[in-house]
Structure 1
Amino acid sequence: MEIIKGAGVWVHPGEAGNDWFEQLRTADMSVGTYCIPAGGHDAQSPHTEDEIYVVTAGHAKITSPGRADEVGPGTVIFVPAGEEHRFTEVTEDLVVLVVFGPAFGSRAPKS
């Protein structure tokens, strides 16, 4: 067992405006925190791994092709590998606990 300290807690983003902090990595999964300040821009690309997002603080919308939903504390989102998605209209500093399966970046991109 391991307690994952700092997971899902706001960390002020650096110069880039958004920050991703990985707090745990195994072969089968990784856990981290993604922070976007109010008014920030989420420029992420589709990932090669499945994702679970758990919003721990803030408010925004999450968009994918043909869909946009408001999210806030307690919202849990599943995004399958390869699906385009991003957070938009971030009205309050957004903190998202992210679980990747398998670990983030461990699958080779499909060509």
Structure 2
Amino acid sequence: MHLIDGAGRWTAPPGGAGNDWVEQLRVPDLSVGTYCIPAGGVDDQSPHTEDEIYVVTSGRARIVTPDASADVAPGSVVFVPAGEPHHFTDVTEDLTLLVVFGPAYGSRTG
């Protein structure tokens, strides 16, 4: 067992950066981290080569993919398959996302 300290907890982006990503656990088959976007911020991520689950722990925004969009708030859980473009927009409250990648983030070459 391993308790993952800080996972899903808001952390202000360092030094005025737009967003903050911290990986808190990494094993070959999955990784867990926290992604934070401040209110009014812009999500500039690129599609990933791994499947991904987002759990919204705080904040409000909209997630947009080429085929759909949805409002998200605390308790929302979103699955994004590997390779699917996606962005959080309309971040109206500081957004904190617990992120689970399978396999571990960046472990597949695309």
Query: TM over 0.5: same fold?
Result: yes
- Could you give the per-residue CA deviations for residues 39-80 of structure 1, whole angstroms, max 9, x where no partner exists? 000010000000000000000000000311000000000000
- Measure, in 2, the Cα distance between the counterparts of 1:21 and 1:88: 20
Count of residue correspondences: 109
| TM-score under structure 2 length normalisation | 0.97
| TM-score under structure 1 length normalisation | 0.96
- Measure, in 1, the Cα distance between the counterparts of 2:80 and 2:69: 13
- Measure, in 2, the Cα distance between the counterparts of 1:66 and 1:46: 14
RMSD: 0.6
Residue 35, structure 1, aligned to residue 11, structure 2: no
Opposite residue 10 of structure 1, the aligned amino acid is W
Per-residue deviation at 1:16? 2.0
Q: Which runs of 4+ in 1 moved over 2 A?
A: none
Of the structure 1 ranges 35-44 and 7-16, higher mean CA displacement relative to structure 2 is found in 7-16
* Structure 1, gaps ≥5 residues long: none
Task: Summarize the alignment of residues 1-111 of structure 1 with structure 2, pairs less than 5 Å apart.
Answer: 1-14=1-14, 15-109=16-110
Per-residue deviation at 1:17? 1.2
Per-residue deviation at 1:92? 0.1
* Structure 2, gaps ≥5 residues long: none
Secondary structure, counterpart of 1:3 in structure 2: coil
Opposite residue 25 of structure 2, the aligned amino acid is L
- Measure, in 2, the Cα distance between the counterparts of 1:56 and 1:96: 6
Secondary structure, counterpart of 2:44 in structure 1: coil
Of the structure 1 ranges 10-19 and 31-40, higher mean CA displacement relative to structure 2 is found in 10-19
- Could you give the per-residue CA deviations for residues 79-98 of structure 1, whole angstroms, max 9, x where no partner exists? 00000001000000000000
